[in-house]
Structure 1
Amino acid sequence: MKTIKALRISFLATMCLWLSACGDLTEINKNPNSPENVSSNYVLTYSLVNSGKLVFNLGKNSSKIAAAMQYMQAGTNEGAAETNQYAWTQESWAGYYDILRNVQIIYDNGVRDDNKFFQGIGLTMKSMVFGLLTDLYGDIPYSEALQASNGQFFPKYDAQADVYKGIMTDLKTADGLLQNLSAKDAVSATSDVMYKGDVTKWRKFANSLRLRYALRLADKKAEMAALGINLETEFKEASANAFTSKSDDASIAFLGTNSDNSQPGGPLASATFNWLTKPAKPLVDKLIQLNDPRLQRWANPVKRKWDATVKTETTKSYTNLFGETYSVVYVPAVASSADTSLYVGLPVGLPITQGIVYNKGNDVSVYPNEQNPYISFIHDRYRKNIDPYVAMNFMNYPEVEFILAEAALLGGFGATDAEVHYKKAVQASMDKEGALTAATFNFENYYAQPGVSYASATNKQERILEQKWISSWFSIQSWFDWRRTGFPALKTGPVAQFGPALPIRYMYPSPNLDPKYIANYTDAVNKLGSTNYIPAGQSKDHHYAKMWLIQGTNKPY
């Protein structure tokens, strides 16, 4: 084998020498398979699907962010230190930059071919992915990133303010490009797996992202103005052409035909069902308190329910609001501490020994690992290959209405009618989960509750953010909202590694040992702000360090 390989190398070397003796090699050097010659339609499919997977995995039911936002908790040693104790470790960003390299090809090809549609898509996706990176880490390689072909292997970490400036600038440019396109500015409907080549929806997506980042930067208006970005103007312009219904959602459905295009919890992608994660008690209790139908979309009822009205174990059939039927064993309650609810969440941050037996009471039966029947499980849909209520979601219509509501409340963004937008947001979230068509659900009655209505709220920003948190189930955006506002007021559990605070950023990937890389990394770390939750002697590259975005804001703590 080595001999054959050596002969091949020798042959290729000889060919190269022969070619070098020839004249003009321009035509020979054109490689039809090089990235710059690949159709943007092919690159678009790859970029959209991989971006969707990336965002989905950031917020899925076993992620650290889902645990921090108390959508779920873990019950055993497997991953419990990360999810329940917030013992976060360094995170790679290689996947993000892989996507960005491909998005850059889409944009560059669009410039080469004078295709404004592809240019607009390229800038929109670039802004979304770079936005994720800076939201997660802080300062990141930006202006010098994606330039390895030009010999730039150790890009500087741009200041976070400059990254946001670039994002806002590119999104505004994208909006301009996506208007008044000509016939030549086309995108294949089959390659565009999100919007099927609909330019109006891409324009709405770009403007909805502008709204997201204008509000995210609300506490940094002066600093952004100094960089030439007027957030109020940006917000006013974008709001005129943002999402107006769920048909505009930037979302990609799982196909469910093989392991690569199925959702991660399904049998095609997972060897065994994930029973590890449970819906967290703070969210479950809030949904029970509000008689919120979304609980039934996201969690299963317990398999065994403590109940004071039965004398002996009794099996009953329970059908939820959406017509799903479950068999539940009602067990005589013997302790006042038993949670007798039909839906039971796992408390936040319990020690392992308590978490696996929570609410088990005096039941000495041995159940399969992680299948304590007195705690609810994440809904069965998260253990399927495909489900209409589980998708790769970049941004949706309810988020836009919540943004407009908060912006109107805060003032200074040109938005008005905070309550109107808030009510639309809550209703849109219900619609997204299919609750509005359920025969026994009345939205007006739900909204009129003191715990839901805008008018009855003492702190109206907290009311908006609480409902946005609920609506953002398994979305990472709720973490960014909480970090900016401190709402909802989530509490850590007894095993939290750093006390009563939640993490506020991702730690950088392990730095390359090259001196230039180390210098760039060190400069970025030095600009992070310390907090009381970073142990003495530890690096500021810590998940409790403050990035520029929240420095000087007293938020979230």
Structure 2
Amino acid sequence: MKLFKYILWVAGIALVLTSCSKELERINKNPNEAESAQPDYLLTNGIKMNVDTYWGTDAAMETSLLYVQYWAKIQYTDPDRYIPASTNIQTVWNNFYAQGVEDFTTLIQLGDTLHNPNYKAVGIIMRSWIFQVLTDLYGDVPYTQTANIEKYLTPKYDNQRDIYLGLLAELKTAAGLINTSGDAISGDVLYSGNMTKWKKFANSLRLRIALRIADQEFDAAKAVFDEIGADNSALIAANSEAAQLVYLASPNQNPVGKNRETRNDYRISKTVVDLLRSYNDPRLNIYAAFPKETNVILGVTNGLATDSANKLGLNKTSDVGAVFTASTAPGVIFNYAELLFIKAEAAQRGLLSGDAADLYNQAITASLKQYNVSDADVATYLAQASVAYDATNYRKSIGEQKWLALFGEGLEGFAEWRRLDYPVLAPAYRGVLGGKIPLRLTYPSAEQALNGANYKAAVAHQGADQLVTRLWFDVR
């Protein structure tokens, strides 16, 4: 009898607590706040915040743009000497996961709830792009368990190989979901709701990833090229179809432009200036700005000590050109030239039929035309013996020209430089890595504290958690 009374008492308390909880939830509801995410607002914010991260201080200006020697620092030069701030590393991770993976996972779920496959497809495409950037940068990262963070508070790290193969499958699914005559989507600040362009972006990302894994998984890469590589109607086919966010005035300005409103510690790298000059490249006056005190473009050597860099003079060295630093400069995440370079290399390597030299010339042309270089100057540039395609060393021809075409896209340029090993870069002058250049970012320290077991498993599989640890895709 006592046990029966106890059970009734516990049940009664539980009922009271449940009622109180429901009452508190009712009282604490904000009548002016939406209880569920709106897909259009979620999409706009997701695109803006993640392109901001891609082009912003932590993932680009203080890390990848310096490592791949697009930019250099003339003040506070530690990052240019391969001493990244822990906050930069942590912020990249946090932003891409919390503002990227989480938001686009929600958008994918809303696509199902609203019976709008186009929202779901866009969510998958953008989330796949973010995962591609994350694994390019860190290596093994949480992937399969991150879509259910409530169940997996400490998600496992997936192998980079499995991530790339998983993304290829996800992007194929996304492309298949798109219905160009189906329900419209709103809030699309990348392609203004043009689902044909979203499908081209998805397929172009598939080719990017396929080429990324070709040194390790040639057959898997070839299967992707066999399926979609020859179908130009399904791929980015013009500069006007590039995946890019066109920024507006403050507070929605380009993060590089926002940076220049208060800072002046970045310059164009001497490495870029020297290569552009060696090719008589008309992009020199576009990529670099004239110093305030001279009419001679002067790049800065990467990795100088702060006092040595300061002596060069803020007004005597060249900043990056206005086409990248203006508030309304576009944030490009996939340009047409890159797609053509992908096809040129694929043709050279037997992944795709076609004339590699012709595709290479088309790629250079697309890059020059992206910056409104005249047809006459394009022809003059291509006619140079130094620019001519060399099939016996395609990695140098494609590597150098692709590196130039990706200028400003620090993360993609960094990934392709590691894969192709061109251009040949000298380590930072006062670098701290024993004459080596970074090959990845280290994992954020918070992962060691909050996800320690999975962090240790990733390090055991991939190698030491150091800037110079070579990733799976980078075989040379």
Which TM-score band (shorter chain)?
0.7 to 0.9
* Aligned residue number for residue 213 of structure 1: 209
Q: Secondary structure at the match of 1:187?
A: coil
1:378 correspondence with 2:282: no
* Gaps in structure 2 of 5+ consecutive residues: 1-14
Distance 1:108 1:33, change over 3 A: farther
* Aligned residue number for residue 193 of structure 2: 197
1:15-164 alignment to 2 at 5 Å?
17=19, 37-57=36-56, 62-76=61-75, 78=76, 80-83=77-80, 85-90=81-86, 91-92=89-90, 93-98=93-98, 99-149=100-150, 151-164=151-164
Q: Contact 1:61–1:277 (CA<8 Å) still a contact in 2?
A: no
Q: Secondary structure at the match of 1:393?
A: strand
The count of aligned residue pairs is 450
* Aligned residue number for residue 402 of structure 1: 341
Question: Which residue identity does 1:487 align to in structure 2?
Answer: Y
Distance 1:59 1:427, change over 3 A: farther
State the percentage of identical aligned residues.
30
1:464-475 alignment to 2 at 5 Å?
464-475=398-409
Q: CA deviation at 1:401?
A: 0.3
Q: Distance in 1 between matches of 2:448 and 2:393?
A: 49
Q: Contact 1:208–1:238 (CA<8 Å) still a contact in 2?
A: no
* TM-score, normalization by structure 2: 0.87
* Aligned residue number for residue 320 of structure 1: none
Distance 1:405 1:32, change over 3 A: farther
* Gaps in structure 1 of 5+ consecutive residues: 1-12, 306-327, 329-341, 359-369, 530-539
1:418-433 alignment to 2 at 5 Å?
418-433=356-371
Q: Secondary structure at the match of 2:366?
A: helix
2:307 aligns with one of 332, 343, 353: 353
Q: CA deviation at 1:14?
A: 9.4
Q: Contact 1:469–1:488 (CA<8 Å) still a contact in 2?
A: yes
Distance 1:271 1:447, change over 3 A: closer
Question: Which residue identity does 1:488 align to in structure 2?
Answer: P
* Aligned residue number for residue 276 of structure 2: 287
Q: CA deviation at 1:509?
A: 1.1
Q: Secondary structure at the match of 2:437?
A: coil
- Structure number having the greater helix percentage: 2
2:469 aligns with one of 545, 553, 556: 545
Q: Contact 2:105–2:123 (CA<8 Å) still a contact in 1?
A: yes
* Aligned residue number for residue 339 of structure 1: none
Q: Contact 1:47–1:103 (CA<8 Å) still a contact in 2?
A: yes
Q: CA deviation at 1:502?
A: 1.1
1:222-237 alignment to 2 at 5 Å?
230-237=220-227
Higher Cα Rg, which structure: 1
Tell me how large the CA RMSD over aligned residues is: 2.8
Q: Distance in 1 between matches of 2:332 and 2:180?
A: 27
Which structure carries more relative contact order (alpha carbon 8 Å, separation 6+)?
Answer: 2
Q: Contact 2:399–2:421 (CA<8 Å) still a contact in 1?
A: no
Q: Contact 1:254–1:392 (CA<8 Å) still a contact in 2?
A: yes
1:251 correspondence with 2:262: no
Q: Contact 1:503–1:543 (CA<8 Å) still a contact in 2?
A: yes
94-103 or 50-59, which deviates more = 50-59
Distance 1:254 1:471, change over 3 A: same
* Aligned residue number for residue 334 of structure 1: none
Question: Which residue identity does 1:425 align to in structure 2?
Answer: A
Question: Which residue identity does 2:365 align to in structure 1?
Answer: Q
* TM-score, normalization by structure 1: 0.75
Q: Distance in 1 between matches of 2:60 and 2:447?
A: 31
Q: CA deviation at 1:301?
A: 2.4
1:262 correspondence with 2:253: yes
